[in-house]
């Protein structure tokens, strides 16, 4: 009998906590305005030994991907995402998680021929394609000669963002 009031109070507190919980809104960390003319075309600017090139906007079913690369003295020194896939909240979440990894991979490999991030195949391939476009415009060649495809990946090729539930997946009958 002594436990009943404790259980009742704990239940009320727990239920109140659940009802008051508000999930955090996921917002894109990168502007993806399709009306921005500056970010739509592939452009190049040079200043001394520094070249900045904007890659082509690569369109996928999840949204556009576009990057700007900075090359200083023949080395890739920075890559900034201008657009990331953001057609739906899950695309934003996946892209925001993958972009830092893709950036680090490209900087360490000094190439657009980077490995895909697990679960973000479309974002990975479209990031690499936009980066390769920018590198081509800047006249940059990777030391090992590696390049990435500059075409947009499709869902039928990669089964969505990389989840593996497309043709021949484990849940297809």
pLDDT in tens, 123-157: 999 999 999 999 999 999 988 888 888 777 765 54
Which comes out higher in pLDDT, residue 171 or 115? 115
Residue 171 has pLDDT above 80, yes or no: no
Between residues 30 and 89, which one has the greater pLDDT? 89
What is the average per-residue pLDDT within 111-128?
Answer: 93
pLDDT (average), residues 97-121: 94
Q: Which of 19-23, 27-31, 129-133 has the highest mean pLDDT?
A: 129-133
Average pLDDT over residues 154-166: 47
Predicted confidence (pLDDT) at residue 170 exceeds the cutoff of 70: no
pLDDT digits (tens, 9 = 90+) for 36-95: 333 456 688 888 899 999 999 999 999 999 999 999 999 999 999 999 998 999 989 999
Q: With cut-offs at 50, 70 and 90, classify the pLDDT of residue 22.
A: low
- For residue 32, the model assigns a pLDDT of 39
The pLDDT value recorded for residue 37 is: 34
Residues near 98 by Cβ (< 8 Å), separated by ≥ 6? 117, 119, 120, 123, 124, 127
What pLDDT was estimated at residue 162?
45
Q: What is the distance, to the nearest Å, from the Cα of residue 87 to the centroid of all Cα atoms in its chain?
A: 12
């Amino acid at each position: 009998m002594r436990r009943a009031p404790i259980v009742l109070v704990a239940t009320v507190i727990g239920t109140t906590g659940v009802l008051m919980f508000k999930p955090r809104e996921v917002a894109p960390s990168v502007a993806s305005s399709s009306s921005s003319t500056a970010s739509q075309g592939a452009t190049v600017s040079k200043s001394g030994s520094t070249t900045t090139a904007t890659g082509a906007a690569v369109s996928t079913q999840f949204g556009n991907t576009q990057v700007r690369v900075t090359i200083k003295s023949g080395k890739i020194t920075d890559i900034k995402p201008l657009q990331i896939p953001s057609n739906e909240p899950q695309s934003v979440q996946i892209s925001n998680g993958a972009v830092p990894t893709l950036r680090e991979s490209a900087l360490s490999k000094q190439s657009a021929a980077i490995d895909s991030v697990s679960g973000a195949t479309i974002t990975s391939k479209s990031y690499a394609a936009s980066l390769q476009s920018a590198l081509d415009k800047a006249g940059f060649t990777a030391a090992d000669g590696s390049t990435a495809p500059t075409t947009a990946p499709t869902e039928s090729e990669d089964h969505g963002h990389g989840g593996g539930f497309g043709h021949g997946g484990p849940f297809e009958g």
